[in-house]
Structure 1
């Protein structure tokens, strides 16, 4: 999944519309839309603000962009497969707050 898809998915799960999120971030709705459509990449500073608004650590946003095929080593792939359900549960807890 691309970073923009992850951001959009978490925003919707938190029931924040684009207008409200853009206002909290201090950016235009158009710019947020470009980020969510993966036409623009947020700066590190903006990515930190996005994570704060969503209540999700930046590392979690980035983790969600990965899948098993992100790794060549079978042992790492297995570790990823075991970690993914735990991360998913953590995300569900964070988003429920």
Structure 2
């Protein structure tokens, strides 16, 4: 069950990058901006486990890293709540 929930969570994170980027930055330079966001996401995904291992090596516990991660997650949640609502986009009718 944990593996399924983790898989669903990871899938949602990656999809949210594209969704949020298109809503807040538009489509003009979608590929370039998405590339930057995805690179940051992938760097953090790779560097996070390394930092967690170093924290365990130094302190003998994962707790300090998890507490910092928990604070970061709380800040990220507050920032998401503070985002302004994007204007509704009107799709023009096709002229036949």
Larger Rg: 2
Work out which structure has the larger RCO, using CA pairs closer than 8 Å and 6 or more positions apart in sequence: 1
TM-score computed with the length of structure 2 as normaliser: 0.39
TM-score computed with the length of structure 1 as normaliser: 0.39
